[in-house]
Structure formats: structure tokens, C-alpha cells
Amino acid sequence: MQPVAVVTGAARGIGAATVHGLAAAGWAVVATDRASDDPRLRYALGTHVELRSVAESAARLAPAPSADARRETVVARTVDTTDPAELAAAVALAEERFGGLDAMVAVAGVIAGGVPLWEMADDEIAAVVDVDLKGPIIAAQVGIPALLRRSEPRRGRFVAVASAAATRGLPGLAAYGAAKAGVTGLIRGLAADLAGTGVTANAVSPGSTDTAMLAESGRLYGLADTGSFAEQALLRRLLAPAEVASALVWLAGPESSGLTGAILPVDGGLAV
């Protein structure tokens, strides 16, 4: 039976790489993204064009007996992850189109700050908390019931993206760090709630990854480029989105059966 996943934040960066990784591993995927800018934030988010492109390129990676089957393996949907009804509709699509749900992968995230918390605009704080913490909470609310609808013995996976900022204080990013620390608490609590169900909850905690979000971090700090972030990690380089995505794909699969409530650091040694 082909496993089925819903991925949020799929238009670019780690989300896009996760869709590619899952498709290449034989998963059917509903790839979701807001696919529009958030007026509360000062940088451009993913687009409809990027989301469609990710779905099309991922479908070409999928092992399938025919080109038609490959095209049907990955579908793209515009979804605001802070809207329970929209995300629930994506989960329903996964169940209707592919027969069920095996992994809910909450990747969508944004960043804002660059100043002490008390100097941040209220709408920027709200955007960070809404997307980075409320989004994964909603993903759990609408995704886990679908994971539990699989017949026993089930192997459902709830997977989220935290951040090295959840454990390492970063100047000007207190709201972001608080939201990501909330994700780690969410994962541990979900793991406890899911005990004995066959469904696990885990997270990946990335470090400085070469994405549009990191470019925005550089702008917030007034940096000419993101190269200086590499010096903070023991690997002395930025991570590629695919490196983080590979951990997410692994956590979504059967090989991670021994983990639940875990926060897996894929940060190049940033938080050591």
C-alpha cells in the first residue's frame, strides 16, 4: 500500500525538499502552501507558481508504472495553515484521493524580528506565533484524527519543524524562538497523548539552512549575505534544504518506529 502524506509549507525551501524526498521514496503527497504573501511580514513568501512547480517536479521523481500515474501521485493545494477548515480540507483530499493518511508533516514557517521583543510590531509577533506555533497545533488537530483512522496495526507519523532557536537564544528573535520552543513542547505532549496508538510525534530542529527564510534573517540582522551564519555551526557551512528534508522523510517512514517525542537536531552542530 502506498503511504500518504500531507506537507505544509511546500512551495519552497525545506517544505519543497520534503515533498521531493517523499515522492522519490514512493509516497503520495498533498503539497500545501499559503502561496501568497502575508501583509504582516516584510518579505515575500512562496507563490502559486512555485507550489505547482514543486508538485510537478516531485511527481516526476515518483516511482510509478506510467507517466499518468506519476502525475497523480503529488497534488498541490493552496492552504492557509492557520485556517483549520482549509487544512482539514487538504487532509480530506488525501483520504479521498489516496485512501488515507500516514504522515502529517508540518513544515510551514515564517520569521520576523531583528529587534528586541518589546520593539517588535504586534502584527509581526502575531504572524510568527500564528504560523510557527498555531500552524503545527492545527496540523495536529486535523491530521492526527486521520492518522488514527488507519486500521491497526497503524504506523502513523506526526512530524513538525522546530529550530535550533528553540534551545539557543538568538538576539532579535525572541518571538520566533518562543514559537519554536512551543513546537518542541507540542511534540512531547502529543507523543504522550498518542501512547499505545501506533502513531508517533517527532520533530526536526534545523540550524541555518539555505532558504528564503535565512535570507530574511540576514536582512533582519543587516547582513550583506548569509555566509556569516555558517561560522556559527560546527560544520562551518549552511545546510541544504534536502539535508533537513531527509530527516523529515525518515521520521515519516517506518524506520523511525523507535522514536516518539524526539526533537532531532539537524543543525550542523549549531546548538552544541
Residues paired with residue 265 on neighbouring β-strands, in sequence order: 205
Q: pLDDT tens-digit profile of 43-101? A: 999 999 999 999 999 999 988 554 444 447 999 999 999 999 999 999 999 999 999 99
User: What pLDDT score was predicted for residue 153?
Assistant: 92
Proportion of the chain above pLDDT 70, given as a percent: 97
C-alpha to C-alpha distance for 265 and 234, rounded to whole angstroms:
13
Catalytic: which of 27, 176, 229, 250? 176
- Is 176 known to be catalytic? yes
pLDDT tier at 26 (50, 70, 90 boundaries)?
A: very high
For range 153-178, the mean pLDDT: 96
Domains within the chain, CATH numbers bracketed:
4-266 (3.40.50.720)
For range 149-167, the mean pLDDT: 96
C-alpha to C-alpha distance for 181 and 176, rounded to whole angstroms:
9
C-alpha to C-alpha distance for 26 and 65, rounded to whole angstroms:
12
Q: pLDDT tens-digit profile of 191-233? A: 999 999 999 999 999 999 999 999 999 999 999 899 999 999 9
Q: pLDDT tens-digit profile of 232-245? A: 999 999 999 999 99
Between 272 and 36, name the one with better pLDDT. Answer: 36
